[in-house]
Structure 1
Amino acid sequence: MPDVDIRVLTAGDTLAALPALAEILSDCVEGGASVGFMQPFSPNDAVHFWEGVAAAVGRSETVLLAAEVDGRMVGTVQLGVSTMPNQPHRADVRKLLVHRDARGLGLSRRLMDAAEAEAVRRGRRVLVLDTATGEPAEAIYERFGWTRAGIVPDYALMPDGRYCATTFFYKHLAT
């Protein structure tokens, strides 16, 4: 069994891990994940995105969690905690990413469990997320106890340019 570590990254940690983070995002997009980017998408293309995440982490707007397997960063998930004044109890789950080389190790579950625990620690009890309809992630969230709120047709594009519907989910957390 590999050694797995899930941890919250600081802004400095995020900047120090830019090459690994860029590789994870690039691998997911090139593998067809609809996470906001279009193909082709190289690790160099991903650096600017992660620099923005690091800045958001530094401003306490985003919480970035990372999964490492045997010391190699291979997965991430983000909590958007910068919400409107009438939503101090809510957070957005963003970009659950696991490198294709590390899939099948239960990292998605571990990252989501850690994100939920971190949300509770920060006083958040309602989480929301969206994912491409019909893609593997949709089934993952259902297995993890998330409730489907609805589907919006043609909400986004897949990385290859095809339109895709998006499924919205929510989860109430025990506090």
Structure 2
Amino acid sequence: MLKIKQLDTIGLDTHSQLCDLLTVCIEHGASLGFYTPVNSDMLQQYWYSVAQAIATKERKLYALYRGDALVATVQLSLCMKENGRHRADVEKLLVHPNTQRRGYATILMRHMEQSALENGRTLLVLDTQSTDKAELFYQAFGYTKVGQIPFYVSDNQGQLHSTSYYYKYLAHGTACLNVN
């Protein structure tokens, strides 16, 4: 049974599951801002900073569970500037490698987009490493590539890669909550 939760706090058990999910995604080659071998202190600090942003209402964290197991997450970082309250950044879409290709990212993204609309956010932006498999997913999900910056990010071997930037305008009614 799949269940989506918007996490308003990050308790100890959830913190541990989030660290584990991020670790396994990094170890499987995802470009998420961390190197291998994974520094667990850095990951713990990262999730503490996310918890602080959730508490100040600057960020929303959505989690997809299969039973009690956390299988995917995505974040919505809300622009707090007065002239930017219509936009948000999509960050850290994580799907456990053992559960990929089952539609979990799609389910979670639909839910996140619906929540964005409910929070008055109609423009979503994101970035991802160019040529990464995530690019194909975002394109298929209706995000438009607006460009890339060469040599923007390095992989865990120190090789530099381009980063691609995407946006999606959510006209009211374009996001849906259908999780089936």
Which TM-score tier does this pair reach, normalised by the shorter chain? over 0.9
Aligned counterpart, 2:34: 37
Q: Cα offset for 1:44? A: 4.9
Could you give the per-residue CA deviations for residues 18-39 of structure 1, whole angstroms, max 9, x where no partner exists?
1100011011111111111111
Percent identity of paired positions between Structure 1 and Structure 2: 37
**Structure 1 residues 15, 128: closer, same or farther in 2, change over 3 A?**
farther
| 1:24 and 2:21 are equivalent in the alignment | yes
How many Å separate the matches in 1 of 2:26 and 2:159? Answer: 14
Note if contact 1:148-1:167 (Cα within 8 Å) is conserved in structure 2: yes
**Structure 1 residues 161, 50: closer, same or farther in 2, change over 3 A?**
same
Secondary structure at 1:97 match in 2: strand
How many Å separate the matches in 2 of 1:29 and 1:50? Answer: 15
Name the TM-score, length of structure 1 as normaliser: 0.93
Q: Cα offset for 1:82? A: 3.5
Note if contact 2:89-2:125 (Cα within 8 Å) is conserved in structure 1: yes
Please, which moves more after superposition, 164-173 or 73-82?
A: 73-82
Given the alignment, which residue of 64, 75, 78 partners 1:78?
Answer: 75
Secondary structure at 1:83 match in 2: coil
Given the alignment, which residue of 91, 94, 108 partners 2:91?
Answer: 94
Could you give the per-residue CA deviations for residues 116-136 of structure 1, whole angstroms, max 9, x where no partner exists?
011001000000000010011
Secondary structure at 1:79 match in 2: strand
Unpaired segments ≥5 residues, structure 2: 173-180
Aligned counterpart, 1:162: 159
| 1:138 and 2:143 are equivalent in the alignment | no
Unpaired segments ≥5 residues, structure 1: none
What does residue range 60-79 of structure 1 map to in structure 2 within 5 Å?
60-79=57-76
Please, which moves more after superposition, 44-53 or 150-159?
A: 44-53
Q: Cα offset for 1:53? A: 0.4
Name the TM-score, length of structure 2 as normaliser: 0.91
How many Å separate the matches in 2 of 1:42 and 1:36? Answer: 12
Taking only aligned residues, the RMSD between alpha carbons, in angstroms, comes to 1.3
Secondary structure at 2:120 match in 1: coil
How many Å separate the matches in 2 of 1:156 and 1:86? Answer: 29
How many Å separate the matches in 2 of 1:161 and 1:87? Answer: 35
Note if contact 1:20-1:73 (Cα within 8 Å) is conserved in structure 2: yes
Match for 1:170: what amino acid? Y
Aligned counterpart, 1:55: 52
How many Å separate the matches in 2 of 1:61 and 1:14? Answer: 18
Aligned counterpart, 1:10: 8
**Structure 1 residues 33, 157: closer, same or farther in 2, change over 3 A?**
same
How many Å separate the matches in 2 of 1:84 and 1:66? Answer: 26
How many Å separate the matches in 1 of 2:70 and 2:41? Answer: 17
**Structure 1 residues 42, 106: closer, same or farther in 2, change over 3 A?**
farther
